Amino acid sequence: MRRVALIPGGARGIGRAIAQALAAREWDVAVCYRKSEDDANIAVTAVESAGGAALALRADVSSPDACTELFDQVLAWRGQIDALIHCAGPFHRVDVLAETPEGWHAMFANNLDSLFYLSRLVAPGMMERQWGRIVGFAMANADRPMAQTQITAHYLAKVSVLGLVRSLAKALAPYQITANTISPGFIDSGSVELAELAVMAKSIPAGSVGTVDDVVGAALYLVSDAASYVNGANIHVSGGWGI
């Protein structure tokens, strides 16, 4: 039976690249998007061209009710979810003293809460089947909390993602389920201006920014059988930046 992945934030960038790579390895993929319907349709085409079945679903995963509806739709489509790869993670730049309650809440709701809501939904089925993969996304530096005055809410949400994933890893390990995180540094995924990436490359030990393929490689490993004993890990994909 083909395995099934749910990828919130799978419409573009890293999420889309992971979806396409999984399809080439005989996975079917449901991608979730909040606004970018055109990008989601492109992701569906990419998955199908790689040999997988694809489903695009609109959902605001910061809402627990929306997560339940999303989960139910994927189950109706394929009957199970073998991997949750949580690529949803918007951010904004704002000085910590200028942050608003609404902005603060949005960063945690989208980056952290949504991962919790979806993990608690997919876990029972994985436990029953004695196999499953949960992959969260933190960021380079998140494993050593430090001052981040321009992206404070986003950064602290990612710090919390590490704690949540490690708790999931410990709770689910007896059921042969793994939960791990990937912490990208500066990746040319289309979400940051090239000029900004070029400036940042000067401070990256590797001398260049990463590509989406660098992150895809880590994700493919974590969902594979080869990583069955890797649990609660955090993989830096940063060219040495942030360590």
213, burial (CB in 10 Å: exposed 0-12, middle 13-18, buried 19+): exposed
CA distance 171 to 132: 13
Determine the Cα–Cα distance for residues 158 and 98; give it in Å rounded to an integer.
20
Helix, strand, or coil (residue 183): strand
| CA atoms within a 13 Å half-sphere pointing along the CA-CB vector of 152 | 14
Torsion of CA 105, 233, 8, 209, to 10 degrees: 90
CATH 3.40.50.720 fits 3-236, yes or no: yes
Q: What is the pLDDT of residues 177-222, one digit of tens each?
A: 999 999 999 898 877 777 777 888 889 999 999 999 999 999 999 9
pLDDT at 68: 98
What's this model's pTM, rounded to 2 decimal places? 0.96
Q: Distance of CA 15 to CAs 93, 133, 185, 210, 234, Å?
A: 22, 15, 15, 15, 18
Average pLDDT over the chain reads 95
What is the pLDDT, as a whole number, of residue 16? 97
Spatial distance between the Cα atoms of 125 and 165, rounded to a whole number of angstroms: 18
The predicted-structure confidence for 6-38, as pLDDT tens digits, reads as follows 999 999 999 999 999 999 999 999 999 998 899
Q: Is 26 left (phi over 0), alpha (psi -120 to 50) or beta?
A: left
